[in-house]
Structure 1
Amino acid sequence: MADPKVPEGTSGSVGKKAPEPRGNAAGKITENIGTGENAKNSIVWMTITWSFIIAGTLSLLLFSLVVAEKDFKYLDEIKSVWSIFIPLITLALGYAFGKNK
C-alpha cells in the first residue's frame, strides 16, 4: 500500500542523489584529467612527462647494452629514439605556451 504523504511517482527519498551507473568511462576519464581547459593542459603535460619517461628508459636500456658489450653501435639507436620523442615534446610545449587567449 502506498504512503499517502508521498506523491505518486516519487521514491520517497527526498534530497538523495540517484546512484551513477557503473562502468561510466567518461566519469573516470574526467576524474583523472579534469574538464575543459584543465583537461587540455593535463593531456599536454602527460604527453611531455610520458615522452621523457619512455625515451629516457629506452635510452638507459640501450646505453646498458653499450656498456655491457663495449660496442658503440647502439648509440645510433639512442639517437633514433630521441629523434622520435623530441618533436613530440616540442610540439606539446609549443601548444602549452603558445596558445592565445
Structure 2
Amino acid sequence: MSEQAEVHSAQTLASGGIGRKPPKAGPTSSGRPTEALGTLTEKMGTGENAKNSIVWMTITWSFSIATAISFLFFSLVVCYKDFSYLESIKSVWSLFIPLITLALGYAFGKSK
C-alpha cells in the first residue's frame, strides 16, 4: 500500500467512515464547548428542545399507532359483522390514553 493510500485510509477512519464528516464541536454563546452532534441530536435538538421533541414524538406515535390498530379492528367489525371487536378497540385506547396524558402532563405541567 502506498504512503498516500495509508494517509487517506487513516483520514477516512478518523472521520468516521467514507462520506461522513467529523462531528462539529465549538463554543456556545456562553463560552462553553458544545457536545459533538450525533444523528439523534441533529434530528431532535439539544437541551430543552430535545425534551420537548421526545414528548411530542411520544404523543404523535401513540395517536398514530392506536388509530391504526383501531382502524384494523373496526375493519374486522365491518367485514365480519362481529361487534365483539369493539371491545378490543376500547382496550387499545385504554392502553394508549394513559401514555398520552402522561406526556401531555409532562409537557404542560413542568415548572420552569
Work out whether 1:82 is the aligned partner of 2:93. yes
Give the drift of 1:20: 4.2
**TM-score by structure 2 length?**
0.69
| 1:91 matched to 2:102 | yes
CA distance in 2, matches of 1:38, 1:74: 40
Q: Where in structure 1 do 4 or more consecutive aligned residues deviate above 2 Å?
A: 19-24
- Per the alignment, residue 54 of structure 1 pairs with 65
RMSD, aligned CA: 1.8
- Distance across 2 between alignment mates of 1:78 and 1:37: 35
Larger radius of gyration: 1
Number of aligned residue pairs: 82
Q: Deviations over 1:46-97 (max 9, x none)?
A: 0000000000000000000000000001001000000000000000000000
**Structure 1 residue runs without a partner (length 5+):** 1-18
Percent of matched pairs sharing the same residue: 71
Higher relative contact order (CA 8 A, sep 6+): 1
Corresponding residue for 2:80?
Answer: 69
Which residue in 2 is equivalent to 1:35?
46
For residues 56 and 90 of structure 2, the distance between their equivalents in structure 1, rounded to whole angstroms, comes to 23
Partner-residue secondary structure (3-state), 1:58: helix
CA distance in 2, matches of 1:95, 1:21: 37
Q: TM-score by structure 1 length?
A: 0.76
Change in 2 beyond 3 A, CA 1:68/1:85: same
